[in-house]
Structure 1
């Protein structure tokens, strides 16, 4: 298991590395094919962690846990949608509640990070082979806009609604990833990836059947349970097996 991060130094330059305790061992970018250490390290406390990849595509799966369906039928075909790149926010960034959005919920999720170009994966093995690792995601969702609009463009795509990070965790078994979401320290969501209706290799297979995925692309896999409404000042934390906590404050 390894934990990859991207970071920004105080001088404004950015880099990537392996998280090792309180420091980051700097590696050459891109690191998808090989991890090459530069011999340099930086103190974690002296840098700002960034979203751990720079995706070209952000794909999301909706309604993918029975606990979130709340008795509704399983969607067939599955519910898939996109987030714009402008929605991206990272660890420590504020969640901004848009004016007039009404109720806004956090949705903690396991996020797939693609590490190998894949198009039309024909098997589960090929789908898994395209995955570099996993990170935490928070699919912020404006419920009134979601119900009112024909498309979820603003309900799921507003600025700061596409949060992920802080690290990419490698070496995890796809069906044994634990997910926890906390709001103000109290557990709000909990699930294990084997509870997904469409599991991780099936998700990659479905998406790659119609669009090419490249290294750095991410896929949100769905959220469990019934998320709660957010208010200014709330602190949301999302955590997956082996990873650091994704923490964001609401304003």
Structure 2
């Protein structure tokens, strides 16, 4: 099932995507808590204004150094690089990524993201699926200059618009071998697969739940399978994950 969130006259509303028509069936409430209850309102695909499919109640947990490459094979039993993004960093498709005036070298990282469904603490790997609501596409936008100079990554990775996600949440997905790509202005700049994850989705959910109490709507970024791609004002960036869709955002300067 694909779940979206739309901007409507009555405010943001969740909707289920009709796989046959591409249209959106508006739901009565948040499906994470109330299940799938259609209202009867249908929004045509051409008329839909998608917003972020989830705003975390608490946090975005970012994971670094989590892909096997020819030159680097992280030990899956060790603790990965971990950072947090605030929920104010999260935006949806088509929302501009705004480069802060103080940033020096902003870059994109296309990633598979995991949405947590309920309160989760110290979850065993074999029970991780029980606390996963679904999956979406994320762009872990980072200012590499600040990342290199600041003692912590809060400023480099946590600024407003630094975590676009979308376009939808897919509730059931085999994440073992999904193609991840990034394109800038129509040119593909990176391609990889989740088959190269050093720690798979279940391991990451378990590890994160041993670090923090995870709350419903929290997001885990699983890492990027290729090098970060530089961002420039005026660019149109598209991050895509097989089975989910394309997340498109323009890049603008801070006014």
TM-score by length of structure 2 reads: 0.90
CA deviation map 1:28-59 (0-9, x unaligned): 32212522222221123333211111212211
2:139 aligns with 138
What SS does the corresponding residue of 2:157 show, helix, strand or coil? coil
CA distance in 1, matches of 2:103, 2:2: 35
Q: Distance in 1 between matches of 2:73 and 2:177?
A: 25
Is the counterpart of residue 120 in structure 1 residue 118 in structure 2?
no
Q: Give the corresponding residue for 1:245.
A: 246
**Structure 2 Cα separation of the partners of residues 217 and 44 of structure 1:** 27
1:184, CA displacement in angstroms? 1.3
Secondary structure at the counterpart of residue 48 of structure 1? coil
The alignment of Structure 1 onto Structure 2 pairs a total of residues equal to 247
Q: Flag the 1:93–1:141 CA change in 2: closer, same or farther, 3 A.
A: same
Deviations 1:103-152 (A, max 9, x none): 11100000001123321112x22112211111000000111100000001
Calculate the aligned-residue CA RMSD, in Å: 1.9
Secondary structure of the structure 1 residue equivalent to 2:232 = coil
Structure 2 partner of 1:158: 159
Cα distance per residue 1:149-203 (max 9 Å; x no partner): 0001111011110111110012211212221111111222222212111111000
Question: Which sections of structure 2, spanning at least 5 residues, go unmatched?
Answer: none
Higher mean C-alpha displacement, 164-173 vs 38-47:
38-47
- Given that 2:73 and 2:198 are in contact with CA atoms closer than 8 Å, whether structure 1 keeps it comes out as no
1:167 has 2:168 as partner: yes
Runs (4+) of structure 1 exceeding 3 A deviation are 69-76
Instruction: Report the CA distance between 1:214 and its aligned residue.
Output: 2.4
Alpha-carbon distance between aligned partners in 1 of 2:105 and 2:75, rounded to the nearest angstrom? 25
Q: Is 2:10 aligned against 1:8? A: no
Q: TM-score, normalised by structure 1?
A: 0.92
Residue ranges of structure 1 left out of the alignment (5+ in a row): none
